[in-house]
Structure 1
Amino acid sequence: MPERTQTNTDTPAERPLGDLGRRLATRRAQLGLTLPEAATRADMATSYLKHLEEHPGAAPGRGTLLHLADALETTVPELAGGAVDLPPGLEQAAGRPEFTKLSTDECRSLLGTHGVGRIAVSTGSGPVVVPVNYSVVDGAIVFRTAPGATPSLAVGHRVAFEVDRIDDAFSRGWSVLVQGRGRAVTDPDEARRLADSAHSRPWAGGERELWVRIDMQAVTGRRITV
């Protein structure tokens, strides 16, 4: 298949919202594609795709974005950042979805080493679910928070922790639920080790020096495919 280079035949598009290059590279990594493989799928030159990923100011035309969205199994709004403030799952359900349980090993693999998950804790006014930046260290969920903040209420209690991935373009995805008891990491050496090993820092910023560890007592997951 001949490589497709950028030409002036594309209909001009509005400047992409957000960092298009980062979104392209992230989606390509999620699919496990190399740069040449993704470029071949999109019928464009590898050098041009590399340019799009590495130059934040790149503004390809609508036609190019459509080729990229198709190649990366996503949508133009997702690539351009137009769906950043929209909740996942707005697309229609697939015609004949398949619903399967994930094994414990699959669940642990999907949890990965870091990301954003949601922790459910009990408060004086009832149960609350909040997002946290987490890592998996020594088989446990770990995250940093501030004393008195909602996530810190996990300390000393059995809690639920959930992560998921939804692919709106293809109406498929997965979710993993962890149940376990939270504890504060009070040993200075352990806290330093977590700081060195964890991949995610709290996006909220500020002083968040309390490390919380959730040992996985029960891990379950489900996947929806087409």
Structure 2
Amino acid sequence: MTEEVPSHAAEGRPVGDLGRRIAQCRTELGVTREETAARAGMATGYLQHLEEHPTASPEAAVLLRLAGALETTVKHLTGGDTELPPGLGQAARTPEFTELTEEECRALLSTHGVGRLAVYTLPGPVIVPVNYSVVDGAIVLRTAPGSTPSQAVGRQVGFEVDHIDEAFSEGWSVLVRGRAWAVTDPAEKARLAARAYSTPWAGGRREQWLRIEPVIVTGRRITA
């Protein structure tokens, strides 16, 4: 397959494992399809073909250039690390560890994502991953009555988000400490549902809203 695929078509929705992973990496880096193609030394139309055709099968050299352009690894682009925990790569030779300001931490929390909620339960502390959004500076999430997150109501909790860049052995983490409250007002529930980025990935009926007001926000970053 050559790389000279016409690029006249409007940008469509990425399909297939490779296409979605390329688009996700572009989004995380904040680069356009055109910028990515230029970095990888390929035609924009060919990159469009890779993103929008699930049967696309690029050569290893193409994947290597794409991984470099997107600051990731071929294994990540092709889904080879799906079932592996992050951070399996080697540490950088000269890492630099820095503390983040509260402003930087809140920027990294951004508006939504997947974080880890630390809750103290009767058997002991438990940490669970949850989908969250940030609305008016507070962390909000929805869960089901009786679930582990629901046991956080009225208690001090920890909430952590992080990101690891396997290709460059870099990463950051943000820790929030505060009290979790149940949202009971119907109007406020409706407002949060309208502002939330997504429903929980786990599915099911998860109609109990929790709100965490950050009291202490700290973070750290490791760079090579």
Distance in 2 of aligned mates of 1:198 and 1:154: 20
**Is the 1:98–1:225 Cα contact (8 Å) retained in structure 2?**
yes
Alignment correspondent of 2:80: 82
Q: Give, as a single letter, the amino acid of the residue that structure 2 aligns with 1:84.
A: T
Where 2:167 maps in the other structure, the secondary structure is: helix
Q: After superposition, where does 1:142-221 map in structure 2 within 5 Å?
A: 142-221=140-219
Question: Could you tell me which of 24, 44, 48 is aligned with 1:50?
Answer: 48
**Residues 181, 51 of structure 1: CA spacing in aligned structure 2 closer, same or farther, 3 A cutoff?**
same
Shift of 1:218: 0.8
Where 2:221 maps in the other structure, the secondary structure is: strand
Alignment correspondent of 1:34: 32
Where 2:91 maps in the other structure, the secondary structure is: coil
Structure 2 stretches of 5 or more lacking a match?
6-15
Q: Give, as a single letter, the amino acid of the residue that structure 1 aligns with 2:220.
A: R
Deviations 1:28-81 (A, max 9, x none): 121121211110111100111112122233221212111111111111110011
Question: Could you tell me which of 128, 131, 134 is aligned with 1:130?
Answer: 128
Alignment correspondent of 2:63: 65
Deviations 1:102-148 (A, max 9, x none): 11111111111111000000111110000000000010000000001
Distance in 1 of aligned mates of 2:219 and 2:115: 14
TM-score scaled by length of structure 2: 0.92
Where 2:87 maps in the other structure, the secondary structure is: coil
Q: Give, as a single letter, the amino acid of the residue that structure 2 aligns with 1:165.
A: H
Where 2:66 maps in the other structure, the secondary structure is: helix
**Is the 1:158–1:180 Cα contact (8 Å) retained in structure 2?**
yes
**Is the 1:115–1:200 Cα contact (8 Å) retained in structure 2?**
no
Percent identity over the alignment is 66
Structure 1 stretches of 5 or more lacking a match?
8-17
Distance in 2 of aligned mates of 1:53 and 1:163: 28
Where 1:170 maps in the other structure, the secondary structure is: coil
Distance in 2 of aligned mates of 1:6 and 1:83: 30
Alignment correspondent of 2:13: none
Alignment correspondent of 1:12: none
Distance in 2 of aligned mates of 1:173 and 1:149: 31
TM-score scaled by length of structure 1: 0.91
Distance in 1 of aligned mates of 2:161 and 2:30: 20
Distance in 1 of aligned mates of 2:101 and 2:48: 37
Distance in 2 of aligned mates of 1:194 and 1:69: 37
**Is the 2:4–2:45 Cα contact (8 Å) retained in structure 1?**
no
Give the count of matched residue pairs.
213
Shift of 1:6: 6.0
Q: After superposition, where does 1:84-103 map in structure 2 within 5 Å?
A: 84-103=82-101
CA RMSD of aligned residues (A): 1.3
